[in-house]
Structure 1
Amino acid sequence: MKKLMYLLALASALCIHVSAQSSQEDSPENLRKYVPILPSVKAQMWKIDPKIGYAVHNVGGGVYVISDNGWQSAFLVTDEGVIVFDAPASFGKSIPSEIAKVTDKPIKMLVYSHAHKDHIGGSAAFKNIKDLKIVSLDTVSDFLKEMNDPNRLLPNETFKTTKTLTLGGHTVELTRHEYHSNEGDLFIYVPKAKFLMAVDCVTPGYAPFSGFDITTNFHQYLKVFDELLAYKFDTFVGGHLTSIGTREDVEISKEFTLDVYNTVKRVHNNMDQTAVWSGTAKVVGPDNEFLIFKVLLDKVVDDSVKELQPRWINRLAGVDVWLPSHVRTALIYVRWDDKE
């Protein structure tokens, strides 16, 4: 009986907290364990007419931002035409008509920040625009050709690392980075407007989405904030949720990311891993190495989350929702890629 109780206790200790990613099976009681959205973040939500579903804000310098409080895109109006930055699946079909309310100038270019369909899956609305240039990284174009997705129009103007677009006295600087998607990501910079757009790295007011915005390269993700801050910008668009950002939002996201990384590294490197390994092996047997390894990694995650969450729960929305996933992303990097 004592052995049974001990095994049951061990099984309980091995259970991982189920995050919001699997919330379909969560009970109302479990869902209530997550804290409400911070009032400061709620105050920044755009007032959107539910009959329309999105809103358009003029941020100056010819740049307009469109948001439905879930996704964001933007466009630049010049004397010779319009350049659009992304066409989200959620409201992309409405972008041409919204531009027509602002200017009678034609849409000349559509720029893809990266390949993910939630950000460019509404581009089919642009398929009948004559002589439209669709600009992307060459690797994004290659991927889209393979996917053959009718909702994501194929680019017809590609480049490898940098490109400057010129239209109506305005320039748009496009620069390749590798912080998020396998096919590459763009910084989109409009110098005259002091406007910078970099999708899926900074979400103003919030902790990043799951696993540091499902980054495929945490090593580069750690560098992205300094790369952003090297630009002179007043307005920042990260592609998601409820607010247009500023330099301060980039700085706070940098602080959060480095805190997670440094905490995980310290907890992992200071843990008596031999003791955890041998103690678990005595219970489950030395040959069940996957389970033993899982116990070790879970302990790093749990200890890191317990330390980090109190520091950030009242500073960024969604910390309790995604923090375990951020810690796991950092742990993979610390364990397998980072220097000692």
Structure 2
Amino acid sequence: MTSQAALTSPIPASAPLRTDQPHQEASARTPVPPGVKITRLFEENMEKPFVLQRLTERTWWVSVKNYTTVFVVGSDSVLLFDAPLGRTSAFREAIASVTEKHVSTLVYSHFHTDHIDDVQHWIDAASEDGINLRLIASARTAAKLEAARSILPRPTETVAWPSSSFTFEGIEVRLHGFEWAAHTEDHGAWLLPTERVAHVPDLISPDQPPFWRFAANERFLFTEDNLRAVNELEWDYLSGGHGNIGDHGDIEAELEFIADLRGVVAEKLARRPLESYVDATLGSHTTWFTQFLEETGREVADRLRTKYGHMYGYEAAAAANGEMVALHMVQYH
């Protein structure tokens, strides 16, 4: 149980999963070597309007209040991935700190509104600069916007699902959609092959435990397949939409974390199967199923604390992630 003192204590120091990995201060001018992360990222996000790190000659990674993305400075203008909710001013300030060029192209990574809800602000800003914003999405994202009767602006261009590409000022942008996507059905990896950068929001949050139920994962069944698919692509830097700058080691660490969760849940189910929770006195199957999930989540958190408990956010995330894995393991064999 979390104590009241813990709830009111100062912000803790960021504790990464891979404690032996190098971390350094963010630099908007000097490219960061692959495999190096930004130090004190959580604190920097809370204390500053944005955290900006140059990746290559033409690409930057930027984090605003725990939402991260990538932008590319082309010969005439800027391409930006996503339009995270409520963060337009800070992202615009970050871009303006390294270039006077305006954003002409914006890519929807996938249709979850927290990552694209501010798109109208970018359309309006582009219009003020005399630009008709080029708004690009996969055909599957465009179809999902229609099916959901979304109020968000529709893309001006679509790229074929699951795999295709488009060009921004001579720079190829390549889509690798997941055949069976886990996070949401229009989820995939967006690659900048010449920059060796991948933008895959919500698949993984490098240096952090997975957010609540693996970032509100809609279909956990295919999570490991998606992680392996991204790991097989050629890139040096990964933007996960949240967390730190990623590398291939983060994918491997995430797969190990999931395997550990699976192991605890499997042991729990072997010791006390789901059927043992059935109790007529509870008056509802909803009640005993909820007890199963909550008990399993608590056991996952307790059993993995020695290995992962040093990570900031662990106590808030572990039980919910354990519940997600438990739900998956009783649904699919």
> Which residue number in structure 1 is paired with residue 104 of structure 2?
108
Q: Which amino acid aligns with 2:155?
A: P
> Which residue number in structure 2 is paired with residue 334 of structure 1?
329
Q: Which amino acid aligns with 1:28?
A: Q
- The 1-side partners of 2:77 and 2:16 are apart by 37
For 1:169-188, list aligned pairs within 5 A.
169-177=170-178, 178-181=181-184, 183-188=185-190
Question: 1:107 offset after TM fit, Å?
Answer: 3.2
Q: 1:226 aligns with which of 228, 237, 248?
A: 228
> Which residue number in structure 2 is paired with residue 136 of structure 1?
137
> Which residue number in structure 1 is paired with residue 27 of structure 2?
none
Q: Which amino acid aligns with 2:164?
A: K
CA shift digits 1:7-32 (9 cap, x unpaired): xxxxxxxxxx7xxxxxxxx8724737
CA shift digits 1:140-183 (9 cap, x unpaired): 2234344443xx432121232122122333211112231212x4
- TM-score (structure 1 length as normaliser): 0.77
- The 2-side partners of 1:305 and 1:40 are apart by 17
Q: Is the 8 A contact 2:14 2:42 kept in 1?
A: no
> Which residue number in structure 2 is paired with residue 325 of structure 1?
320
- TM-score (structure 2 length as normaliser): 0.79
- The 2-side partners of 1:49 and 1:334 are apart by 36
> Which residue number in structure 2 is paired with residue 244 of structure 1?
245
> Which residue number in structure 1 is paired with residue 122 of structure 2?
126
Query: Identical aligned pairs, as a percentage?
Result: 20
For structure 2, the residue ranges without an aligned partner over 5 or more in a row are 18-37
CA shift digits 1:77-115 (9 cap, x unpaired): 222532211111232245456445534545332111111
State the secondary structure of the residue aligned to 1:333: helix
Are the structure 2 counterparts of residues 32 and 135 from structure 1 closer, same or farther at C-alpha, using a change threshold of 3 Å?
Answer: same
- The 2-side partners of 1:65 and 1:207 are apart by 20
CA shift digits 1:117-151 (9 cap, x unpaired): 221122112224334321112332234344443xx
Question: 1:289 offset after TM fit, Å?
Answer: 4.4
Q: Is the 8 A contact 1:160 1:176 kept in 2?
A: yes
CA shift digits 1:224-274 (9 cap, x unpaired): 221121122221111114x22222222212211221123212321343666
> Which residue number in structure 2 is paired with residue 60 of structure 1?
56
Are the structure 2 counterparts of residues 68 and 265 from structure 1 closer, same or farther at C-alpha, using a change threshold of 3 Å?
Answer: same
- The 2-side partners of 1:170 and 1:228 are apart by 21
Question: 1:317 offset after TM fit, Å?
Answer: 2.6
Runs of 4+ in 1 over 6 A off after TM superposition: 32-35, 49-52
1:195 and 2:172 aligned: no
- The 1-side partners of 2:319 and 2:212 are apart by 9
> Which residue number in structure 2 is paired with residue 211 of structure 1?
213
Q: Which amino acid aligns with 1:173?
A: R
Larger C-alpha radius of gyration, 1 or 2? 1
- The 2-side partners of 1:112 and 1:193 are apart by 19
Q: Which amino acid aligns with 1:320?
A: E
For 1:267-278, list aligned pairs within 5 A.
267-271=268-272, 276-277=276-277
How large is the RMSD of aligned CA atoms in angstroms? 3.2
